[in-house]
Structures are given as C-alpha cells and as structure tokens.
Amino acid sequence: MSRVAYVNGRYLPHGRARVHIDDRAHNFADGVYEVILAVDGRMVDEEGHMVRLARSLRELDMPAPMSDRALRHIMHQTIARNRVKDGMVYLQVNRGTAPRNHVYDDGLTPTVVCTARSVALPRDADAAPGVKVVTRPDNRWERVDIKTVSLLPNALAKTAAAREGAYEAWLVDDGGFVTECSSSNAWIVDRDGRVVTRPLGVDILPGVTRDRVIALARKNGIAVVERPFSVGEALNAREAFLTSTTSFVKPVTQIDDTTIGNGHPGATTRALLSAYLDFTRRASVADAA
C-alpha cells in the first residue's frame, strides 16, 4: 500500500509530498517535531507529547499552527490512512515560508507535516537483545531540551556509532558525564540496584518515554535517582539501558570496548521493558474503550 503524508491541509501520496524551497526549516532548521508511538492504531502517551510540542513552540517563539484538537485529528487520520497498527507517527511544525533572511517576520503561516509508518514492537522482554553503544563528545547547541529539527550533530554521532557496529552514541559533556544519547535518553543501574539517569535541564531532552519509565519504575518498587553519572561509573554499572519512543527500553550490554555486567540484559532492564510494554497495551485498550 502506498504511504500517505499530510502537508498543509492535504493528504498526499508520500512520494508527492513537498514543502517550499524557502521553508525556514530548510534554510535555518527552524522547526520542531514529535515522534509518537502507535499501538493498535492509537497513540501512546499522546498528552505528554502534545505538552512537549507546545513547550518547544513557546521556547522558539513560534505560534501554534492550529488547536491541539486539530493537530491530534491530523495525526489520527495519518495513522488511519496509512493503516498503521503498531508503529509511529511523526509530526513536524516549521515556522513557515519566507524569502531567506535570518530575521523572521511575525505572522508567517506555519508549515505542518505528518507521516506514519509501521514498526515492529518487541513482544517478549526476556528475549530483547543487548546492544553496543560508543561514547562521543557532546558538541550540540546549548538548548537541546527543545525538540527542534536541528539534529546534525546527533546524526553525525549516530552515524559514527553505526560505522563502529554500535546501536547508539552516548554523548559526554566536558566534565566526563553522560548527558544522553544521539536520539534517546541514557540510564544505568548502579551497584545498589537503583536506576540512575541525568536530571532534566537544558542539556537533555525531556523524553516522554523517560518520564513514563520513571513512573513505572517507582510503581514497581524500583528506586530512581536523577543525577549525572560519569562514563567511568557507567562502565562499572550493574546494568545500562536507553529509552526513546522507537527504542522503548533497550538493554545496553557494551559501552565502547567494555562489557557491562555479565554481557546480557539485566533483570532490572528486562523488568522495566516488560512494564513498559504492558503499559502500552493497557493504554491502547483504555483508549479503545
């Protein structure tokens, strides 16, 4: 079946979807986006993503292109028109189109693009394989808490990781502490069995899946500590993992050349993945009721 994309009020075949050459996202990366998991055709943590989208727009002095209700309708329609059962929906909002100029005018009509595609969801937490990550310097701009389309340093880091046979790049600040990954949040399980992840701030993206995993951990009696951790601490951790909309809870069993734990996904990571998968299924059933 041909994929369908939404662009500025029209649903078009994916191959015919276009934005203007002078769109400010093309010239200045002047846009924001969200990626939302779909399970059984319904969005997961929809509210959290819409709250984050609104914050990104505010931080970039960008007006909302339409009401939340209208944006949600577009995403639901895009999922349905692409017959996505399990997958993801991508929504991008750009400031708009104008002759190239660093100074932007107020009153531009925002560009809205939405696509959706199927993704295979993990079914068995115990069967989830571990992945390798590599560490790279964090050379991104200082407001990575805003989910903008300005992702060149992320893309370079993740491509470098892939060329080394790794799934992700863990980004490291000048002090030797892990900030996050190129497209996900980074976690370890310390020697006391506590889940550790960097606290929210301008140096990491406020991941919606991150928030959900923290809530699920606490609900299941797993202690969560939000603090920076160094690369050295990560190399000696009991477990490590990463989270994102499309990575779910992904066990990390190797960092650079060091095997983490016994080289297999740990019990805490598997428990959190199981809890997250159960949540996504329950959320889908609840939405359908």
pLDDT at 123: 86
> For 117-126, what is each residue's pLDDT tens digit?
999 988 889 8
3-state secondary structure of 145: coil
pLDDT at 177: 98
pLDDT at 282: 87
Options 147, 158, 219, 250, the catalytic residue: 147
Domains of the chain: 4-118 (3.30.470.10), 125-283 (3.20.10.10)
> For 188-225, what is each residue's pLDDT tens digit?
999 999 999 999 999 999 999 999 999 999 999 999 99
Mean pLDDT in the chain?
96
Query: d(Cα 161, Cα 54) in Å, to the nearest integer?
Result: 32
**Strand bridging mode 185-189 / 4-7:** unpaired
pLDDT at 286: 62
> For 167-184, what is each residue's pLDDT tens digit?
999 999 999 999 999 999
**Strand bridging mode 195-197 / 224-226:** parallel
Q: Give helix 267-288 / helix 208-219 axis angle, nearest 10°.
A: 110
E strands of the chain, at which residues? 4-7, 10-13, 31-39, 42-43, 87-94, 111-118, 131-137, 168-172, 178-181, 185-189, 195-197, 224-226, 239-244, 248-255, 258-259
3-state secondary structure of 121: coil
- Give the pLDDT band (50/70/90) at residue 285: low
pLDDT at 288: 53
Question: Is pLDDT above 60 for 18?
Answer: yes
85 classed as catalytic = no
Q: Is the dihedral of CA 245, 247, 248, 254 positive or negative?
A: negative
Question: Is pLDDT above 80 for 284?
Answer: no
- Give the pLDDT band (50/70/90) at residue 283: confident
Percent of the chain with pLDDT over 70: 98
